């Protein structure tokens, strides 16, 4: 075989291998996309926990002589305690009890203006509701999961969050934000979509942190602080495998408590 023939055979073999590799990559990509699409369909059509209509959105917790603290929650289903059916098991109820039982013995006037399914674009309306009537001392915002699962751009979502924090701070309200939790810990979404959603959640949390700090709020990185616990213990999620259980909200409450306590102390000095 002469050199030209050898080159022809080599070029042909290289071409066939290249085409085979390209086809394999395409098949893998299409197959992977099909898997993700199928998992997304299943995740969307699962039955998830719904807001418990019997839960009070306003409550007073703590002894009558305690230093009063007006605490309002804004955000998504987390701010309502979706996944549990008792006020004391919600994130707000658990925080209020911890503040009431702590060294400062607060009397907490608790309220929530959160709406299940909310995204950061919905915060403007919630801020307006939170500022109606007597001004709260501390606002806790829990948002980002629906932005991340909806694959919203972190920069856009965090800009709305930053604007909400700025409005509350302008109204002299101390603000604590629990950033997007560890979505890679949820059981309602199967791998590999779970990993993709977890990655989106981490990007969202980073963008949120920057926006909140620039607006003058305090950040608690829920994914870093509590994600390992949620990954290790399925009992931190309620029956739907997505929303926290009473144990999950308790984990969040203890992670948020130092920042809420510090914000309450600042508010008391005004």
Catalytic center residues? 77, 240, 243
- Largest distance between two CA atoms of the chain: 101
Any idea how long the chain is?
270
HSE-up of residue 266 (Cα within 13 Å, Cβ side): 18
**Alpha helices (H) along the chain:** 3-44, 77-80, 91-101, 123-130, 145-149, 154-170, 193-215, 222-232, 246-268
- Residue 162 has which token pair? 């930053």
Angle at 77 between CA 165 and CA 236, to 5 degrees: 110
Whose CA is closest to 179, among 118, 70, 121, 256? 256
For residues 172 and 130, the answer to whether their CB atoms sit within 8 Å is: no
Rounded CA-CA distance 163/226 in Å is 26
* Torsion, CA 84, CA 87, CA 90, CA 93, rounded to 10: -170
CA distance 20 to 204: 38
- The CA-CA-CA angle for residues 256, 258, 260, to 5°, reads 65
User: Is the bond preceding 268 in cis, omega lying within 30 degrees of 0?
Assistant: no
């Amino acid at each position: 075989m002469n050199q030209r023939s050898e080159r022809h055979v080599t070029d042909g073999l290289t071409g066939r291998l290249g085409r085979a590799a390209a086809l394999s990559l395409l098949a893998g990509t299409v197959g992977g996309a099909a898997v993700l699409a199928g998992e997304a369909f299943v995740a969307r059509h699962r039955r998830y926990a719904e807001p418990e209509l019997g839960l009070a959105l306003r409550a007073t917790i703590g002894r009558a002589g305690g230093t009063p603290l007006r605490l309002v929650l804004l955000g998504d289903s987390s701010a309502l305690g979706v996944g549990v059916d008792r006020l004391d098991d919600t994130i707000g109820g658990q925080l209020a009890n911890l503040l009431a039982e702590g060294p400062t013995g607060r009397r907490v006037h608790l309220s929530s203006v959160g709406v299940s399914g909310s995204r950061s674009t919905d915060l403007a309306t919630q801020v307006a509701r939170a500022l109606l009537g007597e001004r709260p001392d501390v606002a806790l915002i829990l948002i980002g999961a629906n932005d991340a699962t909806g694959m919203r751009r972190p920069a856009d979502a965090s800009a709305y969050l930053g604007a909400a924090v700025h409005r509350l701070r302008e109204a002299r309200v101390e603000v604590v934000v629990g950033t997007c939790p560890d979505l890679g810990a949820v059981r309602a979404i199967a791998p590999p979509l779970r990993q993709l959603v977890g990655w989106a959640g981490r990007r969202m949390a980073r963008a949120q942190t920057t926006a909140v700090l620039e607006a003058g709020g305090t950040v608690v990185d829920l994914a870093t602080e509590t994600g390992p616990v949620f990954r290790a213990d399925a009992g931190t999620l309620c029956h739907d495998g997505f929303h926290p259980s009473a144990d999950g909200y308790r984990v969040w409450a203890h992670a948020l408590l130092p920042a809420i306590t510090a914000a309450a102390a600042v508010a008391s000095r005004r």
